[in-house]
A and B are shown apart, each in its own frame.
Chain A
């Protein structure tokens, strides 16, 4: 009856060294890596390669299937394509034109822009995907909250994470019930009209669920503040591991200066 949902943190619960690392340093490391990638000149391929190798090693150690991360990293492609569409119209500048296929020439500067966007967004996406697929979502939220994300934001995201799929299931049931009463040749107008009804009823259901959730929270003593309990204490090996990782990142940055 319920849909198979695709969870980003599906592999966050396997026992691996990356999964065991405390979420705070993990988030900071991911942010550092992304900063390093973004601040690198597009011609510095050695550094991109270095970061790529680091990410590949982390991925291998984590036990998360490479296909899981790689498939999701394709999410950057539409953005790169959008940039690529503009590339042929850039000022050729000093680099002149580069022939791509017969009859089509692209300015070298344009190619560089596309490459810049492609490699940076892809490496950043892989970094983020590694982070979220090796950290259970609640720990990620905990980490984000103690690293300064406003509490109310964290709460809203937590509720979204919890109820998004439930509401999606509810919508699916509504649509299925509509389909089972239609004969299949309804036009656009029919769909538009009934979609309004569906959304209305989804809204009411969600609203009522919100009230019930609140009652259930109040029944357990909720008084307007969500209490937090940090689930994982920072251990010395977290500090050591993070420092080592920062050092490795710094080496990659330094060697490819």
Chain B
């Protein structure tokens, strides 16, 4: 069964803006898929459709279940949607209340809720922060708590809108490692190419509400022409290495891939432009 199946989904906002045009999307269990595209391409709109908060549609299936009114409770349990601005997601006076909010809405019994809150906070490395108020926390901490608020619902699919935007490098690294450690199926909308390269195995490019590319991460992120045509840029390592004439530049630099690239440049140096 597919984790996510979207067929021919279109959506226009009430003011007439057509945000999605005939979108097809199929995601297998365990996949990590990045959603790329310039601002206004429809990324967030697509994400919001995955658990039916913007509109319900039987063109969207989550784990085989159509996103219809009668399935909303189950769909929202399955799909953990993490918003870009943690201040939008964390509305309660305490961290505990926010992490407990989802499970309580699902009718989980109180003792089980307490267990889930502890487990979710533990998972994001924020154990013991339950009594704190969200605005006593740093932005990076709030981002992690926002993640915990959906983990407590024990979702099978994590949907993240810009998980690394506005955070400092250390907090960004922590979030990347956290997400890497989670075996869940993930859909990540982002402009952070290096993060996408590290975390995702597949990339979809959206432009003006349409899917214009869909493929393995090292194929899409090294296709400089495709990315630039859609207002995007490849990771800086890819740009540098392709300028140096490396034919298949690695999307993630590690000591090993860097050495290989260097050797290739040395070998082919005379032939490169």
**A residues at B contact (CB < 8 Å):** 5, 7, 9, 13, 136-138, 141, 158-159, 161-163, 165-166, 209, 212-213, 215-223, 227-229, 231
Supposing A7-B136, A219-B53 touch, asked if A138 and B93 sit within 8 A by C-beta, the answer is yes
Query: Bound state CA distance, A229 and B113, in angstroms?
Result: 9
Of the candidates B77, B91, B104, B110, the one having the most CB atoms from chain A within 10 angstroms of its own CB is B91
Main secondary structure on chain A at its contact with chain B? helix
Asked whether B92 lies within 8 Å of A138 as measured between CB atoms, the reply is: yes
Q: How far is the CB of B160 from chain A (nearest CB, A)?
A: 12
* Residue numbers in A under 8 Å from B51 (CB-CB): 219
Pairs A-B, 3 closest by C-beta atoms? A221-B105, A227-B104, A220-B102
Q: Which of A9, A165, A219, A228 contacts B81 (CB under 8 A)? A: A219
Q: How far is the CB of A226 from chain B (nearest CB, A)?
A: 8
Of the candidates B83, B104, B153, the one having the most CB atoms from chain A within 10 angstroms of its own CB is B104
Query: Bound state CA distance, A198 and B153, in angstroms?
Result: 40
Identify the closest chain A residue to B152 (Cβ).
A220
Using a Cβ–Cβ cut-off of 8 Å, how many residues does chain B contribute to the interface with A? 40
- Asked if B11 is at the interface of the complex by the 8 Å CB criterion, the answer is no
Main secondary structure on chain B at its contact with chain A? helix
Query: Bound state CA distance, A213 and B89, in angstroms?
Result: 6
Asked whether B101 lies within 8 Å of A162 as measured between CB atoms, the reply is: no
Identify the closest chain A residue to B104 (Cβ).
A227
* Residue numbers in A under 8 Å from B113 (CB-CB): 229
Asked whether B93 lies within 8 Å of A229 as measured between CB atoms, the reply is: no
* Residue numbers in B under 8 Å from A163 (CB-CB): 91
What are 25 of the A-B contact pairs (CB < 8 Å)? A136-B94, A138-B97, A138-B133, A141-B93, A158-B92, A159-B91, A162-B91, A162-B92, A162-B134, A212-B83, A212-B88, A215-B53, A216-B89, A217-B101, A218-B53, A219-B81, A220-B76, A220-B105, A221-B72, A221-B73, A221-B105, A222-B101, A227-B100, A228-B104, A229-B114
* Residue numbers in B under 8 Å from A231 (CB-CB): 94, 96, 131
* Residue numbers in B under 8 Å from A229 (CB-CB): 97, 100, 104, 110, 113-114
Q: Please give 15 more A-B residue pairs, beta carbons under 8 A apart, in addition to A141-B93, A215-B53, A215-B88.
A: A162-B93, A162-B134, A166-B135, A209-B87, A212-B85, A215-B54, A216-B91, A220-B153, A221-B72, A221-B76, A223-B105, A227-B104, A229-B104, A229-B113, A231-B96
Query: Bound state CA distance, A137 and B131, in angstroms?
Result: 10
Q: How far is the CB of B168 from chain A (nearest CB, A)?
A: 12
Asked whether A227 lies within 8 Å of B91 as measured between CB atoms, the reply is: no
* Residue numbers in B under 8 Å from A220 (CB-CB): 76, 81, 101-102, 105, 149-150, 153
Query: Bound state CA distance, A221 and B101, in angstroms?
Result: 9
Q: Which of A5, A158, A213 contacts B93 (CB under 8 A)? A: A158
